[in-house]
Amino acid sequence: MPDSNESNQDFINSTSGQGTDLAREFLKEMVRQSSAQNFELKDDGIYRGDKIVIPIVIEDVKLIDDVDGVRYVVKLRATVPPKELTCEGDLDDVYECVKRQVPVLNSHIARNALMHAIYTWLDKHGTRQAERTTAMDKFNKLINKILAVAQLTYSKLKPSVEKVPSHPEALYGIIAENPSVLEAIQRVAYGARVTTDNLLCIPIETLKGMSINVEELETMSISHQELTEAIKTQEFKTALGLLDLDLQESQAELTIQKLTNALKTIDTKNLEPIINSQDNIAKAIKALMGLTPIKHRIRTPQGRTLWALCMAPPLGGDDANAE
């Protein structure tokens, strides 16, 4: 097998979403090349000749097409010491996970042996997809990545005695108020910004460039205009009453940001009768809680006016980490 595991991973990433035929042919070629090193899969591990290279047996492999490319979820059984393992990530991540928990003598040979076992399993069982990663999963992961960059950037700017916030709402404020933080998140999502009503917005063209299914997101979203209209209706007021949410302001004074803050005190279990609906009142409440997107026309930091999908600050405690 070639030593360049990175190029193997790049190839698999590039074929993601193009059907299984090409991937299957690639896997067959990898099995053929790795077999040239005389690896043999046995009940207690992977052998080369009469010597065991790594004491593991592959039991299951799933592929997940994520926003960052193909991710593997590999279930293994180690025979020395006896234990069940689950390792996740790209091929490098999977190998490092195994190496931390299983004795490996020759890391170069063991790495190739593990790759051979994974490729052989996939060739035999097919490139089985794990449960589909939804567009909302990818969108949430991108939001979390933006918040992580904001948190890291701010930690380098703040006085050393000041604690770095980790709550999403606080990080939204940091992005809005700090040009250096706003500039840093452009490397994660070009054109992203936080609006005056505290929504983190990402241009639709940026999301499409990341292969995120925008149509799927738009189906569950509510437009900013629909949202502002919905919160002024009698139906919305009735819904708030059903949630035992007693706001001091008159309905005419309610803003998106005030409602977002208020709804964070509601247990999501109490929302089920309302949010299981698909009408605009339900969509409005879900959007205000940071559960679904809001479609909005924004002016980007680069000065362009674009359609974007936005999120209210997602739920999270004071010690929540934006990973």
pLDDT confidence of residue 11? 41
Residue, of 124 and 16, whose pLDDT is higher: 124
Task: Give the confidence band of 35 by pLDDT, cuts at 50, 70, 90.
Answer: low
- Percentage of residues of the chain with pLDDT beyond 90: 42
Task: Give the confidence band of 15 by pLDDT, cuts at 50, 70, 90.
Answer: very low
319 within some domain: no
The verdict on 146 and 295 lying in the same domain is yes
**140: CB partners within 8 A, 6+ apart:** 314
Tens-place pLDDT, residues 47-63: 988 889 999 999 999 88
Domain span including residue 269: 135-311
145 within some domain: yes
Residue 121: its H or E element: helix 107-125
Task: Give the confidence band of 321 by pLDDT, cuts at 50, 70, 90.
Answer: very low
The verdict on 167 and 232 lying in the same domain is yes
316 within some domain: no
In the sheet that holds 305-311, the strands lie side by side as 193-194, 200-203, 305-311, 294-299, 222-223
pLDDT confidence of residue 34? 52
DSSP-assigned letter for residue 166: -
Q: Which domain-ending residue is among 98, 125, 152?
A: 125
The verdict on 236 and 257 lying in the same domain is yes
Task: Give the confidence band of 320 by pLDDT, cuts at 50, 70, 90.
Answer: very low
pTM: 0.60
Residue 126: its H or E element: none
What's the token pair of residue 43? 């009940």
The verdict on 114 and 202 lying in the same domain is no
Q: How far apart are the first and last CA of the chain?
A: 35
What is the SS3 assignment for 169? Answer: helix
Tens-place pLDDT, residues 206-265: 999 998 999 999 999 999 999 999 999 988 888 888 777 767 667 777 888 888 888 877
DSSP for 193-256 reads: EE-TTS-EEEEHHHHHHTT--HHHHHHH-EEHHHHHHHTTSHHHHHHHHHTT---SS-GGG--H
